[in-house]
Amino acid sequence: MVSFVDYVKIFAQAGTGGNGCASIRREKYKPLAGPDGGAGGHGGSVILRVNPQETTLLPFHHRPHVKAENGQAGMGDYRDGRRGEDLFLDVPQGTVVTSEDGEFLADLDSPEAQLVIARGGVGGMGNYGLASAKRKAPGFALLGEPGEERTVILELKSMADVALVGYPSAGKSSLIAAMSAARPKIADYPFTTLVPNLAVVDNPAARYTVADVPGLIPGAAQGKGLGLDFLRHIERCCVIAHVVDLAAWDPEREPLADIKTLERELAHYASSLDRYRPGRDFLPPLMERQRAIILNKIDVPDGRDMAALMETELAKLGWPVFEVSATTHEGLKELAFGLAEMVQEYRSHLPENDPERPVLRPQPKSARPAKTYTIETTTIEGTPGFSVRGEQVERWVKQTDFTNDEAVGYLADRLANLGVEDDLLKAGAQAGDTVVIGDPDTGVVFDWEPTLQAGAELLGARGTDSRLYENTRRTNQQRRIDYHAWMDAKKRAREELDAERESGLWNDPGEAD
């Protein structure tokens, strides 16, 4: 059964905002006392939170799909909907978050670190919040905005100071058990350690953590053995200690050659190592970090003789060498102090963590806000058209109830006040052109009609917008034109009658008698 996971992909979906309420207050003697619809609650967000008690990403391996709570819809009597609860996902310290396409998002390397990976949708406003001096009783409300959907990759990289690397059965787990209170699995067969083990070493000189990386063999860079999957846990380590097994009498192996072989495998891994993380630029390259050599099992027969034979060759490397025995605890005190000095030397060069004080500077407010949208020509279902993109305008479209004509008119007013119609005219749009707001494949497509006048005073009954229907009522100008045409026709008729009378076409009945 899987007990340790350091790489998972999760699918996060934030909560949808609640819809606003369109309601009219009714009281005694006041059947229509005004709008009282409340706003919908905001949807819950999905948030990653560092929990020092967590050591694995196993919970997300079994449940990769997570969803936050939706916001509650607004209600009458000025009652707003309840906000959806945020969903907090506890992750171990040292979790690196990247997007599905490899974009770096965050490095959660501090105990208080949090990251919002999917933001909840905004709740829609009720008709009480939409009321104004000109639109006194709106017959519509805004819909809740859908929550974000995002796929992210979580990669755990242990927060250790010292990494123990070596061949299988070199005694790495035994060293951790002897130097700390950790109790990893120890057995007399290779690849006993299948997952990294972390231990805390309390030393008078320094308190530091040690990571036991599963055993490496030649060809690990090509996937042999356990491969290099667990080498991500040494990326944050400032000291890499090679554990050499003095009891290995394999004729094809030689301790010094083992060190060189592992260094080559580390070099293969370092070539693709992304060490340039924000806040981690002070870490030197992997192949330039401090090294140490631990000659383990000197208590076995001929163990000291083997260490003496390698003394000259190991001295050429220039790395500190420690002769220890995890069984008898010989040399462990010197090893603990030696590693502590190396860790302290690294920590002394770290930049001081002096957080800057935030400086708040008021921004000048213009009469008309800056444009937050773009207009481009595009092809929509094989027809030339225009695409309007922008977070604000797309949110307005998502919150519009297109089954309510008054809500559609309200959207037209907002777009006109923002300047979208003017910019469409400047871009060359004409009446009847196809316009899409949002993504060309999933956005809202409509035929643009720039002749609609904006203003709430032009609205009709609640829930309707007379601008969306054909209006046959004559304007004052048309009435004046019709009146003058009628008067001119009447004048011409009188002139024709007078001309006929003068020509004798009409006879006087008295003269005829």
Binding region for GTP: 166-173, 191-195, 212-215, 296-299, 325-327
DSSP class of residue 133?
S
Sequence-distant (6+) residues with CB within 8 A of 223 are none
Largest distance between two CA atoms of the chain: 164
Structure tokens given for 240: 């890499």
Q: At what angle do helices 391-398 and 405-418 cross, to 10 degrees?
A: 170
Burial class (CB in 10 A: 0-12, 13-18, 19+), 248: middle
Tokens (6 digits) for 347: 């920590």
Q: Which residues pair with 106 in a beta bridge?
A: 97
Cα separations in angstroms, 92 against 47, 115, 280, 281: 14, 13, 18, 22
> What's the alpha-carbon Rg for the chain, to the nearest Å?
39
Q: Sign of dihedral through CA atoms 441, 444, 445, 451?
A: negative
DSSP string across 351-411? PP--PPPP---PPPPPSSPPP--EEEEEEETTEEEEEEE-HHHHHHHHT--TT-HHHHHHH
Find out whether 293 and 307 touch, Cβ atoms under 8 Å. Answer: no
| Cα–Cα dist 10/30, whole Å | 54
Report residue 172: phi and psi, to 5°: -65, -45
* Residues of each annotated binding site: 166-173, 191-195, 212-215, 296-299, 325-327
The tokens 């220890």 sit on which residue? 324
Q: Which residues are annotated as a binding site for Mg(2+)?
A: 173, 193
Give the DSSP letter string of 447-503.
E--TTPPP-GGG--STT--GGGS---PPPHHHHHHHHHHHHHHHHHHHHHHHHHHHT
Choose among 466, 462, 467, 456: nearest CA to 414: 456
